[in-house]
């Protein structure tokens, strides 16, 4: 049985594969840009020149970059028997939603989605091992 745990945030995904008691860890780095929108480079005076920031352009680009990132992760976990997703914030939840909408064959293999802060590689492996041990 091939159990896979995926810890992910917007920067990287760590894929832990447990098969026949052997654990492997693979890291996929995302290409999602970190957008820092700085407006108002003009004057501080009321009615002075102001920058117009196109939030929608940045958000649309981020959405496409996330889709590509999630596709790369999905390719890596396509032959899993069971999957657990975890990570900080909401990236793992967005990935779970992407699986529900576009990767139904992987979505049915999800056994859990857990909120977890940043961890060392060993902590990540231990979390996945313990999760599947208790299943």
Domain boundaries along the sequence of the chain: 2-32+54-133
The three state secondary structure string of 79-117 is: CCCEEEEEECCCHHHHHHHHHHHHCHHHHCCEEEEEECC
Beta bridge partner(s), residue 15: 6, 26
- Structure-block tokens of residue 109: 């293999």
Q: What is the pLDDT of residue 57?
A: 83
Q: What is the pLDDT of residue 98?
A: 94
Domain range 2-32+54-133, its CATH number among 1.10.150.110, 3.90.1150.220, 1.10.540.10, 3.30.420.60: 3.30.420.60
| Sites in the chain below the pLDDT cut of 70 | 35-54
- Structure-block tokens of residue 2: 């091939």
pTM: 0.83
């Amino acid at each position: 049985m091939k159990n896979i745990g995926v810890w992910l945030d917007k920067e990287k995904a760590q894929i832990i594969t447990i098969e026949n008691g052997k654990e492997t860890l693979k890291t996929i780095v995302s290409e999602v840009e970190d957008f820092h929108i700085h407006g108002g480079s003009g004057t501080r005076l009321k009615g002075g020149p102001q920058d117009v920031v196109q939030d929608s352009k940045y958000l649309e680009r981020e959405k496409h970059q996330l889709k590509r990132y999630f596709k790369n992760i999905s390719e890596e976990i396509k032959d899993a028997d069971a999957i657990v997703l975890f990570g900080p914030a909401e990236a793992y939840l967005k990935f779970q939603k992407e699986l529900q909408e576009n990767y139904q064959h992987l979505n049915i293999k999800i056994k859990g989605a857990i909120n977890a802060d940043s961890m060392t590689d060993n902590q990540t492996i231990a979390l996945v091992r313990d999760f599947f041990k208790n299943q």
